[in-house]
Structure 1
Amino acid sequence: MPTHATKATAIRGQETTVPLLPCVSADETLAFYQALGFAVTYQMTRPYLYLAFRWRDIHLHFGKGSKNLDPSEESTGGCLVLVDTVEPYHRAFSEALRAKYGKVLATGRPRLTRFRPGQSRFSLVDPTGNNIIFIQRDEPEDLEYGGSAKLTGLAKVIDNARILREFKNDDKGAARALDIGLARFGAEATVVDRARALAARLELAIALGEATQGQSLKQQLQALPLSKEARSQLAEELKASERLENWLAGAPPRRTRATRRR
């Protein structure tokens, strides 16, 4: 008898998968995706809700969400969009939002999550709490989502904070992890790891709107006795807070070595 695999390989033609996501507000959903540059390919609110959008070859469809749906949980639904290079998509959506609103929608809901050079993904969080996650196709298969088991002390804390920030969109959790880690391991950590932790926490302070905390962290970071070699080694991490401030303010991003390699 033929196996299922044999039957599958005998099929001719191409497939297209289109996610059908829930929607709690047609007006808000239309406004957000159109601001990003998506074209509306279908729109109906009566006798039932159905919306369809397209951006390049990305198709997103929406129907009415359940009565018990809570958008604030931001776990409503989602879609993975695999791309060759992530950064150009993030730049395009950033520019589209600035053109529409005069700023990037970077906090609350809906929003575009921020992007650091070398990062392999970012998310669009829509008004219903759906996450449209853009992922670089060559993201390492052995990527550790729970923090590397090979690291210890403050280095492990920094890695755990990275996971919370970049893969779980949990800035508050990442900030809390770094605060606890610095208090527990800061005194015994190398100056390089202290600098990495403070730089990561400073960027989070800016993202969370913690102005006083940010100023204190900036002073602590500047006071560290980092060698010229160490500053060169940590150049990208030390510039993270400045890049975030520029992105939020609408300044054009600087092309770094990391982004030029992509």
Structure 2
Amino acid sequence: MEKMIPLLPCTSINETLDFYGSLGFEVTYRQQAPNVYAALAFEGIDLHFYVLKGLVPQDNFSTCYVVTDRVDVLYERFTGGLRAALGKLPSRGFPRVNPVKNLRSGNRQFIVIDPSGNYVRIGQPIAEQTNGLAKGPLGGPKLARTLETATMFADSHDDPESAVRVLDRALALDEEVPAALRFRALVLRADLAVRLGADEEAVAFLSEVDKIDPEAGPAVADERRRVQDLREQLLDRVKQT
């Protein structure tokens, strides 16, 4: 029974262990010499780490993909652990957990970004798209394709500025799209405003979201949850000022 385990670099083994410990991982092995090294496990997920001198989290391209059949369970577990440890869910920078989303590739996934800038993608295949996105690179309205691109900029590249540029152009088009799709796009736009610290802009986009009735159902379930998270983040910022 072969098994592949990713070995990821880190800037500090203690910081790494603390972060993954907050998510629920346990240390299964630790070594100080001749190299600083540690092994972590969470149920069926194994991650190994070594200290790499000079590593800059913003320049770290290390990543791995965890295939699961319970992506939502893991998302709730990891975000709950991080929120308990930090008192909030960071929206940008290191560390953070990006929102769970359905992708045009036919996968439902979220990304854990650790303090050293490693991207641990966690996802599962979904039988059919339920969020208005057709499978493949060319299907669906332009807004659907742009939404996928903006999501990639925001979540995979930590580049909300580029996500704003492409999404704003698509939202400005005179294009008939399903209400659920426009709802999802406006929620992402509000999300991007929060990440960039443009709170007044975020409130304005959330007001636009309130005007849309996409009907209840799985197509916008993630976005409805995200709206609640964004409003809580904005309220926390007001309390801190």
TM-score (normalizing by structure 2): 0.76
Coordinate RMSD, CA, aligned: 3.2
Q: Could you list the runs of 5+ residues in structure 2 that have no partner in the other structure?
A: 129-133, 235-241
Q: Deviations over 1:172-214 (max 9, x none)?
A: 322221112233x1xx223746555333312322343321111
Distance in 1, Cα, partners of 2:230 & 2:200: 15
1:28 paired with 2:50, answer no
Describe the superposition over 1:9-49 as per-residue Cα deviations: whole angstroms up to 9, x where unpaired: xxxxx112111111221221121111111111122223321
Which residue of the other structure, out of 241, 245, 254, is the alignment partner of 2:230? 245
In the alignment, residue 3 of structure 2 is paired with which amino acid? Answer: T
Counterpart of 1:52 (choices 28, 34, 39) is: 39
Structure 1: how far apart are the matches of 2:216 and 2:228?
17
- Determine the structure 1 residue equivalent to 2:238: none
The equivalent of 1:218 in structure 2 is 206
Matches of 2:11 and 2:222 in 1, distance apart? 39
Distance 1:116 1:209, change over 3 A: farther
- Does the residue aligned with 1:59 lie in a helix, a strand or coil? strand
For the pair 1:157 / 2:146, whether they are aligned, the reply is yes
Please tell me whether residue 65 in structure 1 is matched to residue 52 in structure 2: yes
Matches within 5 A, 1:198-209: 198-209=186-197
How far off its partner does 1:70 sit?
2.5
Please tell me whether the aligned partners of residues 74 and 125 of structure 1 are also in contact (alpha carbons under 8 angstroms): no
Question: Aligned match of 2:76 in 54, 73, 91?
Answer: 91
Secondary structure of 2:4's match?
coil
The alignment status of 1:128 with 2:116, answered yes or no, reads yes
Q: Which amino acid aligns with 1:114?
A: P
Q: Which has the larger radius of gyration?
A: 1
Q: Distance in 1 between matches of 2:156 and 2:127?
A: 12
SS, match of residue 120 in structure 1:
strand
Distance in 2, matches of 1:232 and 1:57, equals: 34
Change (3 A) 1:155 1:109: closer
CA–CA separation in structure 2 for the residues paired with 1:247 and 1:219: 15
Structure 1 counterpart of 2:109, one-letter code = R
Task: In structure 1, list runs of 5 or more residues that go unmatched.
Answer: 1-13, 250-262
Question: Which deviates more, 51-60 or 157-166?
Answer: 157-166
